[in-house]
Structure 1
Amino acid sequence: MSLAYAYQSVEPLPVERSLDLDHLSRRTSGDAALEREVLAIFRRQARQVLFQLEAMTDPHTRLKIAQSLNGSAKGVGAWRVAEAAEALEAAMRDERPAGAVVADLAESISDAIGEIDNVLEG
């Protein structure tokens, strides 16, 4: 597979679900076992971030965690999580209050985790 193909679709597709499983399939070349492994890793990271969001208040720490989650979310096709993480990044960079942004991120993470649970258990 050429690099051009691998990075051709990094923009979200219009989907109503929390996960773009077609994107994930393209990223893993259709390897179902790899897809499951990647989803499990992302679920673990997302759960960690969900628990950390309540406790962390340091803007620098929040920024680093949001950036990491953003990249991971884009890799698996969790576009709503990526968008919410980007909003938190922007709030931290601009030194704006982040309460509502953190709440939106937590909701998008919870939705994605629920969908991943359904995929992995189904």
Structure 2
Amino acid sequence: MARAAGFVEHVENPATGRESRPIDREHLARQCLGDVSLEVEVLRLFDETIARYMGRLVASADADEKKMNLHVIKGAAAGVGAWGVADVAREAEASLREGRPVGTEQVADLAIAVEEVRGYIAGFVAEADQG
């Protein structure tokens, strides 16, 4: 099993103790048992899922729909180690649970985190396809 070359070097955020990359590659590798081909496939599926549910979140009209979409985004992101996305989705989901609305700023913050992750995935997949 070949490992893809380090797309972005490992950097830990001292405030959280978590990876500061959009995807925690160590977490993903553990989830995929070190199989880079599986990592690529999981990231491709995650990319499709996150795009779909972000679109649904933006289009959702009521709090229950928003909550469901945020829950899916949070869980999918945590599964691949996209901690930034998972954290923003968790905060928005908590707001809804507590009866507070999810504002356009929270959705915009989540969209930015999602686009950063999607860009990282595109680079990682392209690198893996070349190697």
1:118 pairs with one of 92, 115, 123: 123
Structure with the higher fraction of residues in helix conformation: 1
Gaps in structure 2 of 5+ consecutive residues: 1-15
Is the CA contact (8 Å cut-off) linking 1:13 and 1:20 kept in structure 2? no
Q: Determine the structure 2 residue equivalent to 1:86.
A: 90
1:72 aligns with 2:79: no
Superposition RMSD on alpha carbons, in Å? 1.4
Which aligned runs of 4 or more in structure 1 are off by greater than 3 angstroms? none
Q: Determine the structure 1 residue equivalent to 2:113.
A: 108
Identical-residue share of aligned pairs (%): 35
Shift of 1:14: 2.1
Q: How does 1:44-83 map to 2 (within 5 A)?
A: 44-83=48-87
Is the CA contact (8 Å cut-off) linking 1:53 and 1:106 kept in structure 2? no
Which amino acid is the alignment partner of residue 40 of structure 1? R
Shift of 1:95: 2.1
Deviates more, 1:33-42 or 1:95-104: 95-104
Shift of 1:13: 5.0
Aligned partner of residue 18 in structure 1, secondary structure: coil
Aligned partner of residue 103 in structure 1, secondary structure: helix
Which amino acid is the alignment partner of residue 29 of structure 1? L
User: TM-score by structure 1 length?
Assistant: 0.84
Larger radius of gyration: 2
User: TM-score by structure 2 length?
Assistant: 0.79
Number of aligned residue pairs: give it: 111
Shift of 1:118: 0.7
Q: Determine the structure 2 residue equivalent to 1:97.
A: 101
